[in-house]
Amino acid sequence: MENKKNINTNNTNINNNTAAKSKLPLALIGLALLATIAGGWWLLSSSKSQTAQSNTAKSNASNANAAKKPAVDETAALKIYENAPSGATPPNLQGSPTAAVTIEEFADFQCPTCATVHTKMKEIIAPYGNRIKFIYRSYPLIQIHKNAYEAAVAAEAAGLQGKYWQMQDQLFVNQPSWANSQNARQTFEGYASKIGLDMAKYQSDVVGLPAKQRVDADMRRGQSLKISGTPTIYINGKTVDFSQFDVQPMRQLIDAELQKAASGGGAATSQPQTNSVANQTQTINSANQTAPNVNAAKSGSNIKEGK
Amino acid sequence: MNRSFETEINQIDTTVGKLPLAAAVVALGGLADAVYLTVKHFTGEAVPCSVVEGCEQVLTSSYAEIFGIPLAAFGALAYFTAFSLAILAAFGDRRMWNLFGVQVVLMAIFTAWLIYLQAFVIEAFCQFCLISAAITLILLTIFLVSRFLRAR
């Protein structure tokens, strides 16, 4: 009787052990799932603050590195920048063509990161008005983005009617709806109509040479500068380290350049005037502007050297 | 049975038994890599590119998404499935190890295609994609080793 009781107890223990053992892998899988969700959430929520912190740290590190690097590298990089083909002339430009600080962006309309940067760039440059010169250049990565070139041409065709920036905005904001479209041209016509273009002229310009030649000129400039990806941003001829790209770090770089220009006798002031600045942003279209002033102020320790 | 032969058989069994556990640990590495890339895709932040050049070019290419879903998200799902199958196999479910094998073979084929795209179509490499490729290769190797040992 006693033995039978022991056997029953042992059986119960074995069953309990087996049950526990069969639950362990499921528990581990559940744990991994929870850890994945928690990790992803943590990355997502902390990415913004981390970016801001690392930008500051990188900015400081970049300052230190810039101080250590021989000046000859910087001079050589600037020389390459200055000697590169001028790109579309006159360029698509916002701000003042005579401003001491030039921000030049090479971007691809079909690149998702460029669309994100587009939104942030508007926020970055808004306070500066005519104290800066912002040049946007098309650099379609035609090997991987099938609609990028046509989008750039569509923007230039709109520019021929003085509405480059409106079209640029439409293309970036609506990027997901045309990026993989088989008939992007029709979608672009919709945007052209939406921003009030003369459709007959647009349809003629979009297949004509002048718009394409402007895109090709920008591409030649980008190729000459050996741009390895989009977006690539220059401030006064020096490449901005893209890992530093955000509103505040960019404004710090611009402010530093403005300060240098001011202390060197330039017309720019040192701090952005954040009031009523949106109204100051001047949209200058391709019909009546001069070539980009690539010989503007050359100094600025916060900026990484050109590639 | 010869004593030393029996010992060798036992050693092989022990090694084969540990391989699914090792695969599960490796799959967790792949899962972390894929989750990181997925999050970066959605936040639109730049991915550090310290070893190779062209991360942005790869991660913003038209091949980086399928039906609007980042490829990295599919990778995360695949690694999580691989981890789950390996864990179940480690606790004695042989069928799961066979399923794991089928999955890693498919993952390896897909990885080979992605490497081809980076090398010959996009002409740029992304280091986190290469890490993922290496992890898939390790998973495939672990599975093949387990098969080889069992065949002996």
**Chain B: residue nearest A109 by CA?**
B60
> Is the pLDDT reported for residue B112 higher than 70?
yes
Q: What is the pLDDT of residue A136?
A: 96
Q: Which residues of B touch A115 (CB under 8 A)?
A: 44
Report, as an integer, the average pLDDT of A207-232.
89
Q: Which residues of B touch A245 (CB under 8 A)?
A: 46
Cβ distance B60 to A111 under 8 Å?
Answer: yes
Instruction: Please tell me what DSSP assigns to residue A188.
Output: H
Residues A82 and A43 in one domain: no
B38 at the A interface (CB within 8 A)? yes
β-pair type (A132-138, A101-107) = parallel
Report, as an integer, the average pLDDT of A273-281.
33
Residues A76 and A48 in one domain: no
User: Of all residues in chain A, what percent carry a pLDDT higher than 90?
Assistant: 39
Query: What is the distance between the alpha carbons of residues A219 and A141, in angstroms, rounded to a whole number?
Result: 9
Residues A29 and A115 in one domain: no
The residues near B93 (Cβ < 8 Å, ≥ 6 apart) are A25
In this prediction, residue A159 has a pLDDT band, given cuts at 50, 70 and 90, of very high
| Cβ distance of B46 and A24 shorter than 8 Å | no
- Domain boundaries in chain B? 3-151
More confident residue, A156 or A42: A156
Domain closes at, from A14, A39, A68? A68
Q: Is A172 helix (H, G, I), strand (E, B) or coil?
A: helix
| Cβ distance of A44 and B46 shorter than 8 Å | no
The total domain count for chain A is 2
Q: Pick from A119, A121, A116, A120: which is nearest to A104 by CA?
A: A121
Residues A58 and A156 in one domain: no
In this predicted structure, which of A1-5, A40-44, A114-118, B68-72 has the lowest mean pLDDT? A1-5
Residues A152 and A251 in one domain: yes
A interface with B, Cβ–Cβ < 8 A, is: 21-22, 24-25, 28-29, 32-33, 36, 39-40, 43-44, 47-48, 51, 110-116, 141, 143-146, 176, 179-180, 228-230, 242-243, 245
Mutate to test the interface with B, among A48, A113, A230, A307 (most CBs of B within 10 A): A113
* A304 occurs within a structural domain: no
CA distance A118 to chain B (A): 12
Residues A281 and A197 in one domain: yes
Domain closes at, from A45, A68, A91? A68
The residues near A62 (Cβ < 8 Å, ≥ 6 apart) are A241, A244, A301, A302, A303, A304
More confident residue, A300 or B22: B22
Parent domain of A17: 1-68
Residues linked to residue A106 through DSSP beta bridges, in sequence order = A137, A232
CB atoms within 10 A of CB B120: 8
Residues A253 and A223 in one domain: yes
Distances (CA, A) of A186 to A191, A206, A246: 9, 12, 34
> Is the pLDDT reported for residue A68 higher than 50?
no
Cβ distance A17 to B9 under 8 Å?
Answer: no
**Residue A246 belongs to domain with CATH number:** 3.40.30.10
Residues A7 and A113 in one domain: no
Structure tokens that stand for A158 in this block: 């709109």
* A98 occurs within a structural domain: yes
Give the model confidence (pLDDT) of A247-269 as tens digits. 889 999 999 999 888 887 544 43
The residues near A127 (Cβ < 8 Å, ≥ 6 apart) are A251, A272, A273, A274, A277
CA distance B5 to chain A (A): 31
| Cβ distance of B122 and A143 shorter than 8 Å | yes
Report, as an integer, the average pLDDT of B88-105.
92
Structure tokens that stand for A103 in this block: 């921000």
> Is the pLDDT reported for residue A218 higher than 80?
yes
Report, as an integer, the average pLDDT of B68-75.
88
Residues A260 and A158 in one domain: yes
* A81 occurs within a structural domain: yes
> Is the pLDDT reported for residue A141 higher than 70?
yes
Structure tokens that stand for A127 in this block: 């306070």
Residues A64 and A79 in one domain: no
**Which CATH number, 3.40.50.620, 1.20.1440.130, 3.40.50.300, 1.10.760.10, labels domain B3-151?**
1.20.1440.130
Query: From the list A33, A228, A230, which residue is nearest B80 (CB)?
Result: A33
Q: What is the pLDDT of residue A271?
A: 37
> Is the pLDDT reported for residue A158 higher than 60?
yes
> Is the pLDDT reported for residue B76 higher than 90?
yes
Residues A44 and A154 in one domain: no
